[in-house]
Amino acid sequence: MAAPDAQANQVLSAKLETALVRELFAVWKQINASYFRQALLPPTIELTRSQAVLGRWSHATRTLEISRPMLLSHPWGVVVEVLKHEMAHQYVSEVLGASDESPHGAAFRETCRRHGIDARATGLPNAATGSPGGGGAANGFADDREARVVERIARLLALAESPNEHEAQAATLAAQRLMLKYNLESRAVPRDYGFRHLGRASGRVGESDRILAMLLGKYFFVEVIWVPVYRPAEGKRGSVLEICGTASNLAIAEYVHAYLTHTSERLWLEHRQNHGIGRNRDRRTFLSGVMAGFAEKLSRDAHAHEKAGLVWVQDGDLHGYFRRRHPHVRNVRYTGTRKNEMFSHGREAGRRIILRRGVEASPASAKLSPSGGARLLLPPPKAGLPPRQGS
């Protein structure tokens, strides 16, 4: 395994570590109630120094071990998935009493399948890698056809780099139409689903973030939900956006999220400069307008596809996977920002956004970095990942 980064080597104060264990136990209780109907008895939760074993359930001592380096060097979503994995072991061990089969035997795999838990014995959970739970091809896609479709979509986004606005828009529409046709044709066959967490954990979810999440769920073939997270180094809670879908749809939705997040910020900076605005007071309102304007554009595009006979119907299998992962979903209403002049400026800018991307190499390494950073459309296979647990 590669050498741990500096973040994994940091030491929490006694106060922060106590708060961290308390938070882990609170998550354990929530999972026990939501997934296992209170069937599990509280274990001893222990933080270990292991970097090779991310988590382990010990039946003999009734101890649930979690790697401290993993807690400090990976997003909280990864931690929760490791915890779920070990709780599945606890359930099989203490409730089902399946002591006559291997740790990752049939009873364990079925328990994980029923609750949308990553059952793999090695590697990081798919919240970190983005691979679907199960997946067939080495690049994370179910088959070569899925990989080819994403490559074609990526090439169409490359054509959207054209300086001619009409050509660029035509390329984007063709990419959307290809996504829609592929998903309609694929609904008749079983598909693997996975999940990803997008963006940084935040204590405050703005209206622009909520509109962006809405349009991903409505137009890009993924299910979306805001999930709670914990930041151990700060001892604070927050939220992060989770998307569920096939490997190809996850990859594209992640790119759209990154592209729109970067583009909206760039449009705000340009607006500030062009209008001599010195402060960021109206930034959030402008960003909300940008996302609302782009959502209106996608709605018009969807209407054009409907005229061509391409009408999307919800993927029931995906919804089933989503509900297995989130059996208790609570819908909350939020009041939007005041629709003032700044919102209108942002909306007008959002209506002109065209998804575009220059593509390098094959889809397995095609870089999607709207901000110039190292973002990957289709992450290459990660070699040498550590085992998840030691049984």
Question: What is the spatial distance between Cα 25 and Cα 35, in angstroms, rounded to a whole number?
Answer: 15
Please say whether the structural domain 6-119 has been given the CATH code 3.20.20.100. no
Question: What is the spatial distance between Cα 56 and Cα 186, in angstroms, rounded to a whole number?
Answer: 37
User: Given pLDDT bands bounded at 50, 70 and 90, which one contains residue 2?
Assistant: very low
Lookup: tokens for 154: 């990526």
Q: Are 283 and 338 in contact (CB under 8 A)?
A: no
Please state the rounded mean pLDDT for residues 44-72.
Answer: 93
Q: Say which range, 98-107, 179-188, 242-251, 354-363, has the weakest mean pLDDT.
A: 354-363
Tokens 């990859």 appear where? 251
What is the pLDDT, as a whole number, of residue 62?
A: 96
Contacts of 282 (CB under 8 A, 6+ apart): 342
What's the pLDDT tens digit per position in 282-305?
999 999 999 999 999 999 888 888
User: Given pLDDT bands bounded at 50, 70 and 90, which one contains residue 337?
Assistant: low
Q: Say which range, 22-26, 35-39, 137-141, has the weakest mean pLDDT.
A: 137-141
Question: What is the spatial distance between Cα 284 and Cα 147, in angstroms, rounded to a whole number?
Answer: 37
What is the pLDDT, as a whole number, of residue 41?
A: 96
Amino acid (one-letter) located at 260: L
Question: What is the spatial distance between Cα 303 and Cα 227, in angstroms, rounded to a whole number?
Answer: 31
Is the pLDDT score of 55 beyond 50?
A: yes
**CA dist list (Å): 238 to 156, 228, 252, 291:** 36, 6, 25, 22
- Residue ranges per structural domain of the chain: 6-119, 146-351
Burial label, 52 (beta-carbon count in 10 A; 0-12, 13-18, 19+): exposed
User: Given pLDDT bands bounded at 50, 70 and 90, which one contains residue 143?
Assistant: low
Q: Are 236 and 203 in contact (CB under 8 A)?
A: yes
Q: What percent of the chain has pLDDT over 70?
A: 80
First-last CA distance in the chain: 19
What is the pLDDT, as a whole number, of residue 223?
A: 94
Lookup: tokens for 350: 């959002």
What is the pLDDT, as a whole number, of residue 204?
A: 86
User: Given pLDDT bands bounded at 50, 70 and 90, which one contains residue 377?
Assistant: very low
Tokens 């909520």 appear where? 210
What is the pLDDT, as a whole number, of residue 71?
A: 92
What's the pLDDT tens digit per position in 111-123?
999 998 988 877 7
User: Given pLDDT bands bounded at 50, 70 and 90, which one contains residue 316?
Assistant: confident
Please state the rounded mean pLDDT for residues 365-373.
Answer: 37
Lookup: tokens for 101: 């089969």
What is the pLDDT, as a whole number, of residue 373?
A: 38
Bridge partners, 44 (sequence order): 63
- Given phi > 0 = left and psi -120 to 50 = alpha, else beta, which region is 360? beta
What's the pLDDT tens digit per position in 64-95?
999 999 999 899 999 999 999 999 999 999 99
Is the pLDDT score of 185 beyond 60?
A: yes
Task: Tell me which range, 35-49, 121-135, 352-366, is most confidently predicted by mean pLDDT.
Answer: 35-49
What is the number of other CB atoms lying within 10 angstroms of the CB of residue 60?
5
Strand, helix or coil for residue 30 = helix
Please state the rounded mean pLDDT for residues 214-237.
Answer: 92
Q: What is the DSSP letter of 42?
A: P
User: Given pLDDT bands bounded at 50, 70 and 90, which one contains residue 229?
Assistant: very high
Phi, psi (deg, nearest 5) at residue 227? -115, 150
Lookup: tokens for 85: 């994995």
Lookup: tokens for 25: 């136990």
- Percent helix, strand and coil across the chain, each to the nearest 5: 50, 10, 40
What is the pLDDT, as a whole number, of residue 40?
A: 96
Q: What percent of the chain has pLDDT over 90?
A: 45
Amino acid (one-letter) located at 184: L
Is the pLDDT score of 391 beyond 90?
A: no
User: Given pLDDT bands bounded at 50, 70 and 90, which one contains residue 136?
Assistant: very low
Q: Are 88 and 26 in contact (CB under 8 A)?
A: no
Is the pLDDT score of 370 beyond 70?
A: no
User: Given pLDDT bands bounded at 50, 70 and 90, which one contains residue 336?
Assistant: low
User: Given pLDDT bands bounded at 50, 70 and 90, which one contains residue 334?
Assistant: low
Is the pLDDT score of 341 beyond 80?
A: yes
User: Given pLDDT bands bounded at 50, 70 and 90, which one contains residue 24?
Assistant: very high
CA 64 to chain centre: 26
Q: Are 202 and 240 in contact (CB under 8 A)?
A: yes
Strand, helix or coil for residue 233 = coil
What is the pLDDT, as a whole number, of residue 51?
A: 87
What's the pLDDT tens digit per position in 144-166?
777 788 888 877 877 777 777 78
Question: What is the spatial distance between Cα 244 and Cα 326, in angstroms, rounded to a whole number?
Answer: 11
Amino acid (one-letter) located at 231: R
